[in-house]
Chains A and B, each alone.
Chain A
């Protein structure tokens, strides 16, 4: 099988509001950043794949506007997923594995500022039984968090409100080293627990910031990857799985799709030293840690994770990018990257990345 690696990663500064720029204007500097990093020009990339959502933009076929930023004339080989860019990366990876392309540009972006994100996300729910009730994204995550707190094995998972606050404090303190993060720094967990509930049992610190942002990566195969990058982040395996769409048939305290995707990606074949988990809500990190079997020795979300910046459609791709960047700079040798999409960890993608031993 061909070897494929992430060879460059770039992201915007994630901000609450970016009304002064259009999607393509927000995205273009990020595209230039990754192309410059590998010395390629627009037009020299074999395959381009993007992730974004019309419901964020409030108009149909919104991704076509962003295509101006990649130099789509004369015609390029291009595809789009109406999902987080992590799934666009998956498509690009399979394209490179077939041998039809040696390089791929993957990007994604989302501006949540024009709409009310909690309402916008209700439109991804089952339209017969659930969406007519307009349950917002924070409320659905709160149902999952309460299930975790009430579970018979809550003592095993250590799931209590203080543990959730500890996840928030650790993530946002780590984000102080991340110049792209939207929210950085945190009081200690004990202080966080004095805050009122947003949707009980979640407080504001248990929830991700709402913001605008973009991210991009370049993938390359084999010797091309070695030529473009001093230490490519080789994708050893990647898989994505989904849960049943009805929340009431799932055990919300577990994520079997994450575990299965990780198993198929080879995550359990050797220990990782770093994991970038897409856990927009604190309770979800506890669930993911258990499914992925992450022990104390694994650095989780040194970037600050989605609790520090969660640009819709880009936050999952950023997890893959952050994990790869850690390998590029020698800060990790084997990393797990996870992306999620949908309510209560509905869809999950897991990738295993490794750097050559220099």
Chain B
């Protein structure tokens, strides 16, 4: 048994970025369209409370809500937290306070940022007002932030139709998270071996099966696989399909063959493209070897070795 070398930890940046396109119901649509028009709407519950921001179902009774009201752009801080360093995506890029604000006429509070010179200028109970964003699109960020305001509390919620011309019916909420991906011991060893153009599998100490690519565990026995085994480079096509749809950003002419290939010595097949042979001549049992293109970190495709086909019994367990 080859003792496992202590691998250098591989790491790479991984960015996950996605726009969520969300549709709005009637209440959320009215609220966000209202923000675009500098109008703050809430919804009145069956027991008379005014929820701002509004929701379509009462959080206490689950009653459906649709009775829209307009509240003031001024309000009172119900709690706060001083954020000394703004983070990506947050409403202000200078230090600011997170605040929950109960707008005049509302019974619940809205989360947003408060632009204030420092924590000593903020307290629970302080009066604030909305600072509108210059460009408004129908999103919570149409409120740029809150700012201190010295007017007294006042203003009842007044009924509002919730009707606007050109209402906003959906939002796109972009998200981006940055990671540093580290593949762990087994996959690091596999990837490093690929850099030397060899394929490294790992053998299960219990059932003796050789996994490639290895993930560090035998899914049958639930134990660590830590014995290094070099497999291939040649292998046998165990099954295949013919691809007729051209993938975007992929410079391969269709039709082409995608196959399961059992590398010699491996306990299961991995997949790869088969080239160097007309697509309609690829068959189970075909013997293949990897073709590396210059500078690539994995085989570009597999091509026939010219050997006689493998006997079915030699790979039937790997199908």
Contacts and interface: CB of A to CB of B under 8 A. Distances in A.
B217 interface: yes
Nearest to B85: A199
Interface in B160-204: 171, 173, 175, 177-187
Contacts of B180: 19, 113-115
A19 B186 CA distance: 12
Contact of A136 (B22, B87, B222): B87
Interface stretch (A1-9, A121-129, A177-185, A291-299): A121-129
A143 B79 contact: yes
B14 A73 contact: no
Contacts of A69: 217, 222
Given A42-B222, A128-B140, A142 B177 contact: no
Given A114-B181, A129-B53, A129-B140, A249 B100 contact: no
A343 to B, nearest CB: 10
B119 A134 contact: no
Nearest to B32: A128
Nearest to A115: B179
B87 A119 contact: yes
Contacts of B171: 128
Contacts of B184: 20-25
Contacts of B112: 133
Given A20-B185, A22-B215, A143-B98, A244 B90 contact: no
A197 B80 CA distance: 14
B108 A246 contact: yes
Question: A interface, how many residues as a size bin?
Answer: 35 or more
Given A25-B184, A150-B79, A123 B177 contact: yes
Contact of A248 (B22, B110, B179): B110
Contacts of B88: 119, 134
Contact of A133 (B111, B175, B185): B111
B127 to A, nearest CB: 16
B219 A73 contact: yes
A38 interface: no
Contacts of B177: 55, 58, 115-116, 119-120, 123
Contacts of A23: 184
B124 A150 contact: yes
A130 interface: yes
A131 interface: yes
B109 interface: yes
Interface string A228-244: 00000000000000001
Interface string A303-338: 000000000000000000000000000000000000
B185 A143 contact: no
A132 B143 CA distance: 12
A22 B222 contact: no
Interface in A95-132: 113-116, 118-120, 122-123, 127-132
A109 to B, nearest CB: 13
Contact of B111 (A115, A135, A199): A135
Contacts of B98: 135, 139-140, 142-143, 199
A19 B11 contact: yes
Contacts of A73: 219-220
Contacts of B222: 28, 31, 41-43, 68-72
A118 B87 CA distance: 10
B155 interface: no
Interface in A23-42: 23-25, 28, 31-32, 41-42
13 contacts: A20-B184, A22-B185, A42-B223, A58-B181, A72-B222, A129-B110, A131-B175, A139-B98, A143-B81, A143-B98, A143-B99, A199-B84, A246-B59
